Amino acid sequence: MIHGMLCESVLQPAGTLTMTAACASLSAASVDLPRNCTFEPADWQILAKSWHPVALSRELGERPLGAVLLDAPLVIYRSGDDIVVADDLCPHRGVPLSMGNGNGETIACAYHGFRFGQDGRCVRVPAHPDSKIPPKLHLKTYPVVERFGLIWTCLRPEGETSLPPMPHWDDPAFQQITCPSIDIKGFAGRQVEGFIDVAHFAFVHTETFADPENPIVPSYSPKLTETGFEAEYRSNVSNFPHGLLGVEEFADFKWLRHFRVFLPFTATLEIHFPNDGRLVIMNAASPVSARVTRMFAPICRNFDTTGSVEDVYEFNRRVFEEDRQIVEAQKPENLPLDPNLEAHVMADRSSIAYRRGLRGMGLSQFFTA
């Protein structure tokens, strides 16, 4: 300690500063890309400009949470009324802060007890409680927004916050439900493409809602929007769960499914039920890495609004588990953006529009690897 200031450098006996191997490693690690990044550098930088969900709001209590976004380990913690998202690394000796504990105001590193509070600022060093805390001990933080029961962040923010919209979420006539997340050993783009695909119902979702004898896909046309595209799809494929009683009278009902895609990895599906019922599902695929996705699914509906939330959780889990098995089996693991690399049919119009949108963002052919 020098005059009450925690020392930030290593003084050699002769009084000269030298860069140790540890310092050199820290300098090398200060580049933008995470360690062991699974994305091409240019693609990572494009995707890092978008907002992604990283956790359920209800999961965050006094203890910090660990999460990974685009290969970057993050720590999430509460500091009073604020939520902090920061690199999951104590700047003192490199221990993940998600291993520590918290009290709702600050979190403490599990190694030496350094405490961090609002804006990631180090507020206490137990070994030297009366010393001035150097700026290097403050955490690198990222912007945070709570919306749809989720915690969203952006690793390379530019301009205004731009979160995907969700129809009817703020409508008091609708019940809001945020389902548990689902982890998928597959690329986020593959998962989103499966969500907006309308030709797989009769083959993948036969245990939940679809009719294996009804594979026909009526014509539909995606329309471009400022944030992606949307598509209205009408068919007689029911969305009632198998085994639900009293729905026989709706056998001839024409179901409208309105998809809205918000690039790169979020889509909503608004399903028009009989008697003006509405069900909206958000599919927010958070790219943990190029090979792992954490899928979040907020839901709102204007019917059965006092029904069991647990039943909604379970039905949603079963549907997405059916999809998960397909996504995890697809090859190549990433999404081919070159239209010549896979065959296409008329039912794939949404898929084609989605891939075209990702190409328009500037993403490379890395996705064909």
Range with lowest mean pLDDT among 5-14, 282-291, 307-316: 5-14
Q: Which CATH superfamily is domain 175-368 in?
A: Naphthalene 1,2-dioxygenase Alpha Subunit; Chain A, domain 1 (3.90.380.10)
Picking from 190, 124, 151, the residue whose alpha carbon sits closest to that of residue 332 is 190
Sign of the alpha-carbon dihedral angle for 93, 99, 121, 29: positive
Q: Kindly tell me if the per-residue pLDDT of 181 is higher than 70.
A: yes
List pLDDT tens digits, range 185-199. 999 999 999 999 999
Mean predicted confidence (pLDDT) in 308-320: 94
CATH 2.102.10.10-classified regions of the chain: 50-153
List pLDDT tens digits, range 291-307. 999 999 999 999 999 98
DSSP 16-81: -B---HHHHHHHHTTSSSPTT--S-HHHHHHHTTS-EEEEEGGG-SSS-EEEEETTEEEEEEEETT
- Residue 39 has what pLDDT? 93
List pLDDT tens digits, range 117-148. 999 999 999 999 988 999 999 999 999 999 99
What is the chain's mean pLDDT, rounded? Answer: 88
Q: Could you report how far apart the first and last alpha carbons of the chain are, in Å?
A: 52
CATH 3.90.380.10-classified regions of the chain: 175-368
Right CATH number for 50-153 from 2.40.50.140, 3.40.50.2300, 3.90.1150.10, 2.102.10.10? 2.102.10.10
Q: Kindly tell me if the per-residue pLDDT of 281 is higher than 90.
A: yes
pTM: 0.88
List pLDDT tens digits, range 53-105. 999 999 999 999 999 999 999 999 999 999 999 999 999 999 999 999 999 99
Residue 254's pLDDT band (boundaries 50, 70, 90)? very high
- Residue 20 has what pLDDT? 32
Picking from 195, 319, 187, the residue whose alpha carbon sits closest to that of residue 267 is 195
Return the SS3 of 287.
strand
Burial-class residue 357 by CB neighbours within 10 Å (0-12, 13-18, 19+): buried
Q: Kindly tell me if the per-residue pLDDT of 369 is higher than 80.
A: no
116-125: b (≥16 Cβ within 10 Å) or e: bbeebbbeeb
* Residue pointed to by tokens 């799809």: 233
Q: Which residue has the higher pLDDT, 339 or 94?
A: 94
- Residue 242 has what pLDDT? 84
Residues 19, 21: Cα–Cα separation, whole Å: 7
- Residue 22 has what pLDDT? 34
Residue 241's pLDDT band (boundaries 50, 70, 90)? confident
Q: Provide the 8-state DSSP code for 191.
A: H
